[in-house]
Amino acid sequence: DQQVKQNSPSLSVQEGRISILNCDYTNSMFDYFLWYKKYPAEGPTFLISISSIKDKNEDGRFTVFLNKSAKHLSLHIVPSQPGDSAVYFCAATSGGSNYKLTFGKGTLLTVNP
Amino acid sequence: GAGVSQSPSNKVTEKGKDVELRCDPISGHTALYWYRQSLGQGLEFLIYFQGNSAPDKSGLPSDRFSAERTGGSVSTLTIQRTQQEDSAVYLCASSPMPGTTTNEKLFFGSGTQLSVL
């Protein structure tokens, strides 16, 4: 049973436009959410996170939105750049086991010049 | 280097052989994690070390899998009698200290691509 779901395996956007990556979760105990970015042949790198006490967190071109009632979060990248092309993983954890992240399957973002 | 280092980067082995995967975490990081990513899947938690002890081994798929950590630093993941379903990218990560929000910001290595023929 997948507790973190990224239903779009891939997304293609034009440079300069907004990229929106979605993530749904089923475990109501999750209270901290993260996005990781992964380039081929590299390990994932942390991008941005959000606590369940917030509904938005912004860092430069990246904004994460959390809708707890819908158990849904999204990552917005604006404006998108070709260097943003990568696999994006959504991950979640709960206070009781904050060392263990539960990851989605990832979404491959392609930003076309 | 300053990052998490894993070796080998690629390992091809025959079914039934044993393999050892190594992880050198970032110096000073007390927490170390092993994850794996099978083809088309998300990252799957395997085991967590705090210092040299492993409070949570719940993700290890079978008793063919074991891991140890020595000196609060290097960790080795051992897979005995490998099977084709063990083929995956094995990722190691470290973090400074558990129990804080920074803990969740794991620093990953580049992984070991294991192929079992």
Read off the pLDDT of residues B71-85 as tens digits, 9 standing for 90 and up. Answer: 889 999 999 999 999
Confidence band, pLDDT 50/70/90 cuts, at residue B2: confident
Pairwise CA distance, residues B86 & A57, whole Å: 38
Which two structure tokens, joined as six digits, stand for B39? Answer: 């083809």
pLDDT digits (tens, 9 = 90+) for A57-81: 999 999 999 999 999 999 999 999 9
Region A12-17 average pLDDT: 97
Distances (CA, A) of B6 to B36, B45, B113: 13, 17, 10
Confidence band, pLDDT 50/70/90 cuts, at residue A2: confident
Listing DSSP states for A4-39 in one string gives EE---SEEEEETTS-EEEEEEE--TT--EEEEEEE-
Helix (H) or strand (E) run with residue A102 in it:
strand A102-103
pLDDT score of A1 more than 90: no
What is the length of chain B? 117
Chain B residue closest in CA terms to A6: B42
Chain A residues touching B59 at Cβ < 8 A: 100
Q: Please give the pLDDT value at position B103.
A: 46
Distance between B110 CA and the closest CA of chain A, angstroms: 4
Quick one: what percent of chain B has pLDDT higher than 70? 93
Phi and psi at residue B6, in whole multiples of 5°?
-125, 145
Region A42-51 average pLDDT: 93
Residue B104 has its nearest CB partner, among A2, A93, A104, at: A93
Distance between B22 CA and the closest CA of chain A, angstroms: 15
> Is any Cβ of chain B less than 8 angstroms from the Cβ of A51?
yes
> Is any Cβ of chain A less than 8 angstroms from the Cβ of B26?
no
What's the whole-number average pLDDT of chain B?
91
